[in-house]
């Protein structure tokens, strides 16, 4: 079973979806949509087998940045 979309594509599995994750299992980003920073976060999520979208990701210029999670 592939860990990420990238692994699935290499295996020819075009219907692969990463497992559903609660928003508490990965970090939200305050990066603006369409920016290089946002694309870097999305690329990391793909590599790590995470969903692309976090429920608390910043969606536009008027949205406040999400709180930063601190390691426990």
Residue 29, Cβ density class (10 Å: 0-12 exposed, 13-18 middle, ≥19 buried)? buried
Cα–Cα distance between 69 and 63 in angstroms, integer?
18
Residue 68: per-residue pLDDT: 57
> What total of structural domains would you count in the chain?
1
Cα–Cα distance between 42 and 58 in angstroms, integer?
13
The pLDDT-based confidence of 71 (bands split at 50, 70, 90) is very low
Neighbours of 55 (CB within 10 A): 10
Q: What is the pTM of this model?
A: 0.72
Structural domain harbouring 4: 1-72
């Amino acid at each position: 079973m592939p860990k990420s979309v990238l692994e699935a594509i290499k295996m020819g599995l075009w219907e692969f979806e990463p497992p559903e994750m609660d928003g508490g299992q990965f970090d939200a980003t305050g990066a603006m949509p369409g920016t290089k920073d946002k694309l870097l976060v999305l690329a990391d999520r793909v590599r790590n087998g995470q969903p692309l979208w976090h429920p608390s990701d910043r969606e536009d210029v008027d949205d406040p940045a999400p709180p930063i999670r601190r390691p426990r």
